[in-house]
Chain A
Amino acid sequence: MRTIVAAVLLLAAGGVFAQESKVMLKEGPGKDKAMQCMACHSLDYIHMNSRFLDKAGWTASVNKMINAFSAPIPKEDVEAIASYLAQNYGKPPAK
């Protein structure tokens, strides 16, 4: 259902933003939940903010989306989304 909503939003935004469909997220556990971000913004926001946030940083970002911007992301999804983002777009582990 959420995917349908996102798709409709994309169409509504018009041809210019069809470009954003080329922005792909890496495969991995939690990717489907992270796709909810598309309800409000293109996914390049994630790439752009990589790779420097650790899991706490990504958790804070997701919580900001929920608390400040009222993103309709269920609280129980925060952990999975933050883990996915930290794993795929997070600060590389210190060597």
Chain B
Amino acid sequence: MENSDRRGVSRRNFLAGVAGAGALATLAPASRALAAQLGSTGVLGLAEIPDGALAEAVMYALPGKVPLIKKTYRPPNFETPVEYFRTPITPNKAFFVRYHLAGIPQPVKAADWSLAVDGDAAGGAAKFTLAQLKKEFKQVELTAVCQCSGNRRGLFEPHVPGVEWGVGAMGNAVWRGVRLKDVLAKVGVKSGALEVVLDGADTAPLAKTPDFVKSLPVDVAMGDDVLIAFEMNGQPLPHWNGFPARLVVPGWTGTYWIKQLAHVRISSTPEKNFWMSTAYRQPRGLFKTPTFASQLYSPNEPITAMVVNSLITSLRTGQKIPRGKPLEVRGVAWDRGNGIAKVEVSADAGSNWTEAKLGRNLGRYSFREFSLVMPTRADGGRVVMARATSGSGETQVESLIHNPAGYHHNVIQRIYVEIV
């Protein structure tokens, strides 16, 4: 949790801002001072990622990508810098990369790919090529946020082990594909179907490591908005984001969005591999997110859909704004599909809130831009906050709901700026 006084100036963030400015102004070489800032969440008015994670962050461009914040090289985990969230659609080249197992697929030709559909609760078994999917099923397009379950894990205090993500393990894209339900219906879904089990082409370096396989409740998998997507923002998917085809599960966290989708199995029993039974779980009932009924066989439950959240992208802690210039608070807000009802902004550490203007509605699963321009009449420090509320009335939290795996961080930012 943030260590804040009543005026809401986070000591940690204040010091981070001062230290950063000092280092830039005085003896440290500029490159080093910049490196110290890279991937920092303290400058965003949030808790800081672990010092080791901060020190290890470098910018690195995977083939076909722009430089992203490197978390780990193998398997590749790369975070999108905040600057790319200043537009509601995240460019493909800047979209974050997350793999669990180092045996990531080599780039394949679209013509060589096929998707197998079968299972004990399937009416039959079939294989589809990409050309068949595109030709035989109705194509659908929708805009949706893909956010890693562990986005902002690095901000947990106390820290929890895992990939120590800052705020950029997410992105928003226009996805084009075919409905999973149409493909499942073609093969046949028996009445005993319980879960739909999804496997991508990635593998572990060791044969005994559990393969990354996930399942969805059958009613979710049969939803109108769940796609087998082959296009992202009008282009084929980048290799690092699942080319030639990946699952898109709007509202649900990225763990279910299986990349390089290879095999879909309709099952009459709960999938109990490591990635369902042990990983990606949260204490039962801690969050008011949808329940995965067939996976409730232990004290915890699978993470399912996202909580409401927002990100201010226009300001950094320590920033100085000349008096008379407007204080521009801009950013994006999102949730699991109830839509963003409002985003309120405060410039006095939460005493007074003003509703921001919302940008164009790109759909209920999309980022929604917000902006509020405030006059700056007097000198002094300001603590700027933004608080999103979803269409179901869910609001961001003041303080962290800690959980062992580091999920659902939606703590309100407290950015300290100075009017000078």
A3 within 8 A of B: no
Beta-carbon contact of A41 and B75 below 8 Å = yes
Give CA–CA (A42, B102) in the complex, Å. 9
Residues of B within 8 A of A30 (CB): none
Q: Name the distance in Å between B383's Cβ and chain A's nearest Cβ.
A: 27
Beta-carbon contact of B278 and A40 below 8 Å = no
Q: Name the distance in Å between B252's Cβ and chain A's nearest Cβ.
A: 23
Return the chain A residue nearest B72 by Cβ. Answer: A44
Beta-carbon contact of B53 and A69 below 8 Å = no
Beta-carbon contact of B210 and A13 below 8 Å = no
B375 within 8 A of A: no
Q: Give the 8 A-B residue pairs with the shortest CB-CB distance, closest first.
A: A50-B52, A70-B208, A20-B73, A52-B159, A42-B74, A47-B56, A42-B73, A48-B53
A7 within 8 A of B: no
Residues of A within 8 A of B164 (CB): 48-49
Give CA–CA (A23, B75) in the complex, Å. 14
B33 within 8 A of A: no
Given contacts A13-B74, A23-B73, A42-B74, A49 and B102 within 8 Å (CB-CB): no
- 14 interchain pairs, CB-CB under 8 A: A16-B62, A16-B76, A17-B73, A39-B206, A40-B102, A41-B75, A42-B73, A42-B74, A44-B73, A49-B53, A50-B52, A52-B159, A69-B204, A71-B206
Beta-carbon contact of A13 and B50 below 8 Å = no
Q: Mark A14-50, 1 if CB is under 8 A from B, else 0.
A: 0011011001000000000000000111101101111
Beta-carbon contact of B159 and A48 below 8 Å = no
Beta-carbon contact of A17 and B74 below 8 Å = yes
A31-83 at interface with B (beta carbon < 8 Å): 39-42, 44-45, 47-53, 57, 61, 68-72
Residues of A within 8 A of B159 (CB): 52
Residues of B within 8 A of A23 (CB): 56, 73
Return the chain B residue nearest A23 by Cβ. Answer: B73
Beta-carbon contact of A70 and B50 below 8 Å = no
Residues of A within 8 A of B158 (CB): 52
Residues of A within 8 A of B73 (CB): 16-17, 19-20, 23, 42, 44
Residues of B within 8 A of A50 (CB): 50-53
B286 within 8 A of A: no
B71 within 8 A of A: yes
Q: Name the distance in Å between B205's Cβ and chain A's nearest Cβ.
A: 5
Given contacts A52-B50, A69-B204, A41 and B161 within 8 Å (CB-CB): no
Residues of A within 8 A of B38 (CB): none
Q: Name the distance in Å between B102's Cβ and chain A's nearest Cβ.
A: 6
Q: Name the distance in Å between B234's Cβ and chain A's nearest Cβ.
A: 26
Given contacts A13-B102, A53-B161, A57-B161, A48 and B206 within 8 Å (CB-CB): no
Return the chain A residue nearest B158 by Cβ. Answer: A52
Residues of A within 8 A of B56 (CB): 23, 44, 47-48
Beta-carbon contact of A51 and B51 below 8 Å = yes
Beta-carbon contact of A49 and B161 below 8 Å = yes
Give the contacting residue for B52; candidates A20, A47, A57, A69; CB below 8 A.
A47
Give the contacting residue for B205; candidates A19, A40, A68; CB below 8 A.
A40
B209 within 8 A of A: yes
B183-231 at interface with A (beta carbon < 8 Å): 204-206, 208-210
A89 within 8 A of B: yes
Give the contacting residue for B206; candidates A57, A61, A69; CB below 8 A.
A69
Give CA–CA (A49, B274) in the complex, Å. 22
Give CA–CA (A41, B343) in the complex, Å. 40
Residues of B within 8 A of A61 (CB): 161
Give CA–CA (A86, B376) in the complex, Å. 49
Give CA–CA (A42, B158) in the complex, Å. 24
A9 within 8 A of B: yes
Residues of A within 8 A of B204 (CB): 40, 69
B63 within 8 A of A: yes
Q: Name the distance in Å between B386's Cβ and chain A's nearest Cβ.
A: 28
Given contacts A48-B56, A49-B164, A70-B209, A41 and B72 within 8 Å (CB-CB): yes
Given contacts A16-B62, A50-B50, A52-B50, A42 and B161 within 8 Å (CB-CB): no
Given contacts A13-B74, A23-B73, A48 and B205 within 8 Å (CB-CB): no
Return the chain B residue nearest A52 by Cβ. Answer: B159
Give CA–CA (A47, B71) in the complex, Å. 10
